[in-house]
Amino acid sequence: MTHTQRAIAPMLRLPATPDEKPYLVGYRCPACNATYIGGNRVGCSKCTYVGDLPEVRLSDHGTLYVYSIVHQSAPGIPVPYVSAIVDLPEGVSVRCNLVDIEPDPQKIEFGMPVDMVTRKVRERKEKNAHGDEETIDIIAFFFRPGKD
């Protein structure tokens, strides 16, 4: 049975060739350079430019802005985990889980460098165009403590 990888959200790109690393994309206003995560934009809410916002590849490293440690969540979601806001060098922020760190305020430092990693979070079975069942691996991105 074949395994196909699928990104959990459109902002994450999974290149077809295995030697190329997954990356996040943003959309940058050609008029004022404001950068957005998430597409389907009609214009720029910062400067009111209307028109296409070209895609921009985002860095796979950033710094931790703030976080919360979630101890109570919806059913089926493992807790505790660290929900974090990471600032990327392109001037845009991304919400993510901060992993490979103890969920303890004493261990988490504001401004710490963080690196992006991708991991399979779940899989689902789907029938492909030929009617064959295939397994879809859902891939998500995370950030973990990184190097300066």
Partner 1 sequence: MRDVYVVGVGMIKFGRYPDKDVSQMGAEAGVLALKDAGASIKDVEMLVCGNLFQANAMNAQKILQQIGQTGIPALNVSNACATGSTAVREAYIGVASGMYDVTMAVGVEQMGKMGLLGGGARSGGESVEGVLGSGLMPAVFGQAGVEHMRKHGTTAEHFAKISVKNHKHSVHNPLSQYQVEVSLDDVMNARMVAYPNTLYMCCPTGDGAAAAILMSEDKIKQFTSKPIKVATSVLTSDPYTDRDLTMPDVNTLTQNAAKEAYEKAGIGPQDLSLVELHDCFATAELLHYENLGLCAEGEAGRMIDEGRTELGGDIPVNVSGGLLSKGHPLGATGVANIYEIVTQLRGQGGARQVEGAKAGLAHVIGLGSACTIHILTA
Binding site for partner 1 (CB under 8 A): 8-10, 34, 36-38, 45-46, 65-74, 77-81, 83-85, 87, 91-97, 105, 110, 121, 138, 140-141
Measured between its terminal Cα atoms, the distance across the chain in Å is 42
Give the residue with the Cβ less far from partner 1, 56 or 69.
69
**CA distance linking residue 76 with residue 74, whole number of Å:** 6
The least distance separating partner 1 from the CB of residue 51, rounded to whole angstroms, comes to 17
Query: Is residue 107 packed enough to be buried (19+ CB in 10 Å), middle (13-18) or exposed (0-12)?
Result: exposed
Beta carbon of residue 34, minimum distance to partner 1 (angstroms, whole number): 8
Give the C-alpha separation, 72 to 110, whole Å: 23
Least separation in angstroms between residue 15's CB and partner 1 is: 19
